[in-house]
Amino acid sequence: MYRIVEKIKLTPTDKMLVIEAPEAARKAKPGQFAVLRISEKGERIPITIAGVDPDKGTVVIVFAEVGKTSKDLGKLGVGDYILNFAAPLGNPLNIKNYGTVLCVGGGVFVGALLFLIKALRQAGNEIVTIIGARNSEHLIFLDDAEKLSDELYISTDDGSRGYKGLEFLKELLNKRKFDHVFTIGSTSMQRLVSELTHPYSIPTTVNLFPIMVDATGMCGACRVIVGGATKFACVDGPDFDGHKVDFDQLISRMRFYNPQEKIAMVYHYKEVA
């Protein structure tokens, strides 16, 4: 059992939990994820590791309440326990001194982006960060991002704070040289970033979130096409070369269980999408 030691409500839908998980806290690196199950009858969901404190034996996760299980998770409080917390899973991101690195994070995944930025900074990189969200209410960890970055840009889909959308990235790419780009956020955002960096041939690492079931490479649920080859995101990723990912196939597979997810919300939370 894994005890929750801290809980922060970041936005109306996004929450951060600090969980006692000593082994994961010792081993987890940026880019890796956990698969957790709240209780005996609960489903297993993957969540990215957004920070570790090996001395305290704790792991940070940041999540959005989007459906039945994430809503159930959001109801837990300090002192409550999570039944299973399998971590770290997946491959760590390649941390080294690239030179100047552009880090683009969106929505709830900004927590995971900061974990990466800390490691890239320690490796000696100059960090330019873009933090995005659908609107100003959903921008998270801005102060931390500012402290950890050499330059920070803010973007919202509706333009309520910072740049409107990511079109400004074209200008930034025209005037600055970046040695590597990392992006983590919604699949559509990661796709756009990859499309924008492609003409400049800047290596671009994305973090993919296909549906995962066993997260051990056995079930095939998380298969994605990268450079024409089939890969399993849980064991071959979740990070891949964004210029090689077949995003059309990925997005259509991510919608596969939408009808069942809607039924689960009506059944458990009386919510109709």
Ligand X SMILES: Cc1cc2nc3c(=O)[nH]c(=O)nc-3n(C[C@H](O)[C@H](O)[C@H](O)COP(=O)(O)OP(=O)(O)OC[C@H]3O[C@@H](n4cnc5c(N)ncnc54)[C@H](O)[C@@H]3O)c2cc1C
88 lies in the site for ligand X, by CB under 6 A: no
Q: Choose which of 217, 248, 251, 263 interacts with ligand FES (CB under 6 A).
A: 217
Contact predicate 183/198, CB 8 Å: no
H or E, element range at 206? strand 204-207
Give the interface segment with ligand FES, choosing from 105-113, 140-148, 219-227, 252-260 (CB under 6 A): 219-227
218 lies in the site for ligand FES, by CB under 6 A: yes
**Separation of alpha carbons 87 and 30, rounded Å:** 12
**Separation of alpha carbons 48 and 190, rounded Å:** 16
For 208-213, which contacts have Cβ atoms below 8 Å and span 24 or more sequence positions?
Answer: 208/233, 208/237, 208/238, 208/239, 208/240, 208/245, 208/250, 209/46, 209/233, 209/238, 209/254, 210/250, 210/253, 210/254, 211/253, 211/254, 211/256, 211/257, 212/35, 212/46, 213/44
Which partner from the list ligand X, ligand FES, none does 142 bind, CB cut-off 5 to 8 Å by kind?
Answer: none
Contact predicate 136/156, CB 8 Å: yes
34 lies in the site for ligand FES, by CB under 6 A: no
Q: Choose which of 18, 31, 69, 197 interacts with ligand X (CB under 6 A).
A: 69
Decide whether 105 or 162 has the Cβ nearer to ligand X.
105
At its nearest, how many Å lie between ligand FES and the CB of residue 35? 9
172 lies in the site for ligand FES, by CB under 6 A: no
Binders of ligand FES: how many residues, by CB under 6 A? 12
At its nearest, how many Å lie between ligand FES and the CB of residue 145? 31
Decide whether 51 or 210 has the Cβ nearer to ligand FES.
210
Letters for 94-113 (x = contact with ligand X by CB under 6 A, - = none) are: --------------x---x-
214 lies in the site for ligand FES, by CB under 6 A: yes
Tokens of 158: 């509706």
33 lies in the site for ligand X, by CB under 6 A: yes
**Separation of alpha carbons 130 and 113, rounded Å:** 10
Nearest one of 95, 88, 167 to 130, comparing CA atoms: 167
Could you list the residues that contact ligand X (CB under 6 A)?
33, 45-48, 62-64, 66-70, 108, 112, 209, 211-212, 238, 254, 258, 261, 264
